Amino acid sequence: QVQLVESGGGLVQAGDSLSISCAASGRTFSSYAMGWFRQAPGKEREFVAAITRLGLSTQYADSVRGRFTISRDNAKNMLYLQMNSLKPEDTAVYYCAASIKNTITTMTSTSSFASWGQGTQVTVSS
């Protein structure tokens, strides 16, 4: 099983940019499709973005498409989420997750992911 640790969260102002990262260890990173999810207080965990094993396909939630970019570096066992034009409604704990599936259309569901990190807080002030 792969172990995941997120980093890079923080407090930013609306309109700012922020990049968060996820370091993977354990099993071969390139064996997993990866995703980012987020959870705001009192709300369910929601899909943000996903990327297939070799990075050939990506998918985004409508709320972040055009502002966020997911990427990975399999040589470094790293997953990234570049967030631009941040809004207060982007405030949440952001989690990275790993899936043995590799079909991008299934990646919007938390049930497709077996391994999760502990999360990193992103707060966007207005």
d(Cα 85, Cα 74) in Å, to the nearest integer? 27
Compute the mean pLDDT over every residue in the chain, rounded to the nearest whole number: 96
Q: How does pLDDT run across 69-92, given as a tens digit for each residue?
A: 999 999 999 999 999 999 999 999
Report d(CA 77, CA 86) in Å as an integer. 26
At position 6, the amino acid (one-letter code) is E
Burial class of residue 9 in the structure, from the number of CB atoms within 10 Å of its CB (0-12 exposed, 13-18 middle, 19+ buried): middle
Question: What type of residue is 122?
Answer: V
Strands 3-7 and 68-73, by their bridges, are: unpaired
Quote the pLDDT of residue 94: 98
Q: What is the pLDDT of residues 11-48, one digit of tens each?
A: 999 999 999 999 999 879 999 999 999 999 999 999 99
Tokens of 90: 């982007």
Instruction: Give SS3 for 29.
Output: helix
